[in-house]
Amino acid sequence: MASPRVVSLLFVVALVSYSATAAVAQICQQIPDAICGRQIVDNIFHNIGNLTETCCDALLRLGEECHNTLVERRIAAGGYEKDVVNVIERSFGAWKGCSSLDSCRKLTDATCGSQIVQNVFHNKGNVTEDCCGVLLKKGKRCHTVLVGERIIAGGFEKNATKVIRASAALWDKCSIPGA
């Protein structure tokens, strides 16, 4: 017998199916570009890779109703019967992850964002005490996610280890009062 969580996930998919018209699905399919569309499909349906910041933005622009509609229609088309629960969980996870990433971005103002990027990615400048406060308010999880996304989207893969070390050093510096 299916667990209550699985039953509720399947129920949500069924509700989305009935609420989505063919016209909505057709409009939704036109929104993501080919690269992000492929990345979203690979992540949700094949458990391959993570969504970049750019593709998270595309997913959020798509909207939750369109996202759910497209996932449901692809499941309904077949081929995912053995993995449907995992697909649904990854779909929810992708939406939640991108939504929280969007929330993380909103916590950083342009000045502090620029200071942090220059310090972590280009080894230039200092981060002010005020911006350290912004970084700490954002939280370690947001900082880590945003740095990771920028590594991927910004072409810093070759320097990822150096960037991650700089990110950790900045976090440590900001976490120690008066450092």
Residue spans per domain, the chain: 4-99, 107-173
pLDDT over 60 (residue 21): no
pLDDT over 70 (residue 150): yes
pLDDT over 60 (residue 82): yes
pLDDT tens-digit series, residues 52-74? 878 888 888 888 888 888 888 88
Answer yes or no: are the C-beta atoms of 105 and 146 closer than 8 Å: yes
pLDDT grade for 98, boundaries at 50, 70 and 90: confident
pLDDT given at position 27:
62
Q: Which of 18, 95, 3, 14 is nearest to 55 (CA)?
A: 95
Q: State how far the alpha carbon of 127 is from the alpha carbons of 91, 131, 133, 174, in Å.
A: 37, 6, 10, 9
pLDDT over 50 (residue 38): yes
Task: Measure the N-to-C terminal CA separation of the chain; round to a whole number of Å.
Answer: 57
pLDDT given at position 16:
45
**pLDDT > 90 fraction of the chain, expressed in percent and rounded:** 24
pLDDT grade for 97, boundaries at 50, 70 and 90: confident
